[in-house]
């Protein structure tokens, strides 16, 4: 892939559409803190010289992902919910508000093809709601992971103030690895970015190839993002790109 010109942007996915809707409601332009001002590719949110749309790999999955996104998350170039929608075709995205809920979200949760699980730490939930596996009670149902895409304080608020989630089982993850996310850091190493959480969920659901592809896609995106920030070219022969190519060809 030539980095002199960006690839044509792929068709807008759920997070891309949500970003467009959120921008339309903005009274003033959103400027990413610490980011490079100016033109960004609409398909990957990077500056054109570091566009990676041509590297995107979509992996069909039986499981789906539903993102409940805090107000400005869809606008942030460092948001990794976007990367999930890049890889997993059945990714849904909704903006979260305390006083109202999107009817399309309620329709999704009521859709009989899905068995939804809210992904949230079990320490903050009634024990009877917590599950460790994602086996569905009905044969043929598909697993839908609901991820709260927000900062940790925002996510706790969203969990407490979303009564439509109260009857759903809560999937509590206890991963062994430490987060590798380098774009926005939590003060705690056991706090994972949204894309990392999704890859752990997909692996738990038996979607190993999708999980590994999403991990590699996060690594490639992080590399391009940081290289563009420091005005350096991306290393297309580096470890992140090599891993993604291997998964794409598998």
pLDDT in tens, 149-204: 999 899 999 999 999 999 999 999 887 766 666 665 444 445 689 999 999 999 99
CA distance 96 to 69: 6
| Predicted pLDDT of residue 182 | 64
| Predicted pLDDT of residue 26 | 72
Angle between helices 208-229 and 239-249 (to 10 degrees): 150
Q: What is the Cα gyration radius of the chain? A: 18
Q: Does the pLDDT of residue 230 top 50, yes or no?
A: yes
CA distance 234 to 219: 12
CA distance 108 to 112: 9
Establish how many alpha carbons lie within 13 A of residue 105's alpha carbon, considering only the half-sphere containing its beta carbon.
21
Residue 233 neighbours by CB distance under 10 Å: 11
* CA-based end-to-end distance of the chain: 19
Model confidence over 116-131: pLDDT tens digits?
999 999 888 899 999 9
| Predicted pLDDT of residue 163 | 96
Q: Does the pLDDT of residue 18 top 90, yes or no?
A: yes
CA distance 115 to 169: 9
Alpha-carbon torsion, ordered 53, 57, 61, 67, to 10 deg: -30
> Whole-prediction pTM value?
0.88
Contact 102, 249 (CB under 8 A): no
Q: Where are the domains of the chain?
A: 14-22+43-249
Beta-bridge partner residues of 148: 68
Contact 122, 172 (CB under 8 A): yes
Closest CA to 134 of 120, 145, 150: 145
């Amino acid at each position: 892939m030539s980095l002199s010109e960006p690839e044509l942007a792929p068709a807008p996915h759920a997070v891309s559409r949500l970003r467009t809707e959120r921008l339309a409601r903005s009274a003033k332009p959103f400027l990413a803190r610490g980011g490079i001002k100016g033109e960004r590719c609409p398909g990957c949110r990077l500056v054109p010289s570091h566009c990676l749309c041509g590297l995107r790999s979509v992996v069909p999955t039986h499981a789906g992902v539903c993102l409940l996104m805090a107000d400005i998350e869809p606008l942030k170039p460092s948001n990794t919910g976007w990367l999930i929608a890049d890889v997993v075709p059945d990714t849904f995205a909704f903006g979260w508000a305390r006083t109202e809920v999107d009817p399309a979200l309620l329709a999704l949760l009521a859709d009989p093809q899905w068995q939804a699980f809210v992904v949230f730490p079990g320490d903050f939930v009634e024990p009877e709601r917590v599950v460790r596996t994602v086996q569905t009670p009905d044969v043929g149902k598909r697993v839908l992971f609901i991820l709260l895409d927000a900062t940790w304080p925002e996510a706790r608020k969203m969990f407490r103030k979303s009564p439509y989630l109260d009857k759903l089982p809560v999937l509590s993850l206890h991963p062994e690895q430490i987060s590798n996310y380098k774009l926005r850091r939590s003060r705690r190493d056991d706090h994972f970015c949204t894309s990392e959480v999704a890859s752990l969920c997909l692996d738990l659901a038996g979607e190993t190839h999708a999980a590994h592809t999403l991990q590699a896609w996060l690594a490639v995106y992080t590399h391009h993002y940081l290289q563009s920030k420091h005005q350096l070219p991306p290393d297309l022969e580096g470890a992140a790109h090599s891993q993604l190519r291997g998964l794409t060809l598998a």
